[in-house]
Structure 1
Amino acid sequence: MQNGSNTPSSEALIIVDVQPEYWSSSPAVSSSFPEFPLQLQRCLSWARSRGLCVTWIRCEYNNEKSPWLRNFAKLNPDKQALIEFNQEDLLWEDFAVPVQGEAMVIKSSWNGVSNTSLTSYLKECNVDNCYLCGLITSVCVQHTAFGLFESGFSIKIVEAACADRGRDRHEKALALYGGYMYELVEVEGEARGGGLTMSGERGVVEDQTPTVITADNYEKLAKEYLKKR
């Protein structure tokens, strides 16, 4: 399905790197943004209620797929660099668990566009506007926004549903590029039940694990999404 078809244009919510390495195992982030879980849940509820194309991004950083790791480790010996991805025992934060039918991209760099099929999938889904949220604001959220912007998408970052290693980094990053490469927006409505709606205990996700977008299956996944609209 291409943008020139009769299918109406769509919007996507893209959640970047909301995983234990960057939240529950990163006190510099979680202590600086205690409201982040509620804001992310609110954002997810808003997107799902409106039928947005909800897409998750997870990282897999290793020496084979991520040649930048060697130099990053030299510059940042105190930060975790190697992150493995095993879908069979994938851990999710309890406020950020995918539901059946949502898709996921595995990235090996700081942006979800390079060496992935994200843009191909979004175009097949007839998406032209992307809402971004997640972790870390000044790193992977920002770089993913750049990649999508350069691929021709209109980008809106949900500021309240992003977090960084400190407020100063978060605010300066968004001040630098907000209104230049993307819009800064808020979502309407409240989280279901007036507070946090937990999707389950943190742990292995079984039947809710999203399908990984690859070069071989993005057209099939896009057709499944369009059928639900």
Structure 2
Amino acid sequence: MTTHNHMTKTALVIIDVQNDYFVDGAYPQWQVNEMLERTLHCAQQAQQQGMPIILVQHIADTTQGVAPFFNPGTQGVEIHPKLLALLPNASIVVKQFADSFDNTELAKQLQEMQITHLLLCGIMTQNCVTHTALSHSALGYSVKIISDACTAPTQMVHQIALSALSRRVELIDSRSI
């Protein structure tokens, strides 16, 4: 179990673990159920440590028509029920762009909680996880990505994204939370 000194305050940010990325959804991801189990483990560990947990939910902008997935009002846009069951009181940040900070309340919430360190996980590794980790708004934080609690459309895309991210952000394993 990771211990944090009194000067650091860590939040777990779980990005876009939504129904459309699962088997019956519009865009199923590689090994998504295994990734979900590891994400739930991370959330349980975070809860035991009293760590704030923020869920990020992508809702497509449909002003230009229907999106490929995450359309408002659909079952697919909903956060996975196992995550909601485990974290009924978690804060939910709604976004419309890959970067979880872009035009959202995320930075404000982190600031209010005096967060200094971010643990990121979620879907998709090469898109929203990467854009959030490398966001201009994330520069003020110590950012770590829980690599085995992320996934992408394929194993290769996931691994390419992690390889690129490893040059800029520390990658950790879900067992080290």
Question: If the length of structure 2 is used for normalisation, what is the TM-score?
Answer: 0.82
Q: CA RMSD in A?
A: 3.0
Match of 1:50 in 2: 49
When structure 1 is superposed on structure 2, of 122-131 and 141-150 the one drifting more is 141-150
* C-alpha distance in structure 1 between counterparts of 2:39 and 2:70, whole Å: 26
Quick check: 90-99 or 12-21, which moved more?
A: 90-99
Describe the shift of the 1:34–1:58 C-alpha distance in structure 2 as closer, same or farther (beyond 3 A).
closer
From 145, 151, 161, give the equivalent of 1:173: 161
Q: How does 1:49-198 map to 2 (within 5 A)?
A: 49-64=48-63, 80-81=68-69, 83-84=71-72, 91-97=78-84, 99-147=87-135, 150-180=138-168, 182-188=169-175
Please list every run of 5 or more consecutive structure 2 residues that lacks an aligned counterpart in the other structure: 1-5
Q: How many residues align?
A: 170
Indicate the SS of the match to 1:35: helix
1:7-46 matches, cutoff 5 A: 8-24=7-23, 25=25, 28-30=28-30, 32-46=31-45
The one-character-per-residue Cα deviations of 1:184-204 (angstroms, maximum 9, x if unpaired) are 0013379xxxxxxxxxxxxxx
Q: Could you tell me how far 1:37 is from its partner in structure 2?
A: 2.2
- Are the equivalent residues in 1 in contact too, given 2:107–2:137 (CA < 8 A)? no
DSSP 3-state at the match of 1:152 = coil
- AA aligned opposite 1:56: L
Percent of aligned pairs sharing the same letter: 23
Which amino acid in the other structure matches residue 187 of structure 1?
S
CA deviations on 1:26-70 (whole Å, 9 max, x unpaired) are: 56415x444212211111111111111100000111244xxxx78
Q: Which amino acid aligns with 1:42?
A: H
SS of the equivalent of 1:188 reads helix
Question: How many Å apart are 1:92 and its aligned residue?
Answer: 3.6
Q: Secondary structure at the match of 1:95?
A: helix
Alpha-carbon distance in structure 1 between the residues aligned to 2:171 and 2:137: 14
After superposition, what is the alpha-carbon deviation per residue over 1:59-86, rounded to whole angstroms, capped at 9, x for unaligned?
111244xxxx78xx9xxxxx81562158
CA contact (8 A) 1:59 1:83 kept: no
Distance 1:150 1:131, change over 3 A: closer
Aligned 8 A contact 1:12 1:127 in 2: yes
Say which structure, 1 or 2, has more relative contact order (CA 8 Å, 6+ apart). Answer: 1
Deviations 1:122-172 (A, max 9, x none): 011010100011111111111111226644111100011111100000000
Structure 1 unpaired stretches of 5+:
1-6, 74-78, 191-229
TM-score scaled by structure 1? 0.65
* Distance in structure 1 (CA, Å) of the matches to 2:80 and 2:124: 15
For the pair shown, the structure with the greater C-alpha radius of gyration is: 1
Structure 1 residues 160 and 101, CA gap change in structure 2 (3 angstroms): same
CA distance in 2, matches of 1:135, 1:100: 20
Q: Distance in 2 between matches of 1:157 and 1:61?
A: 24
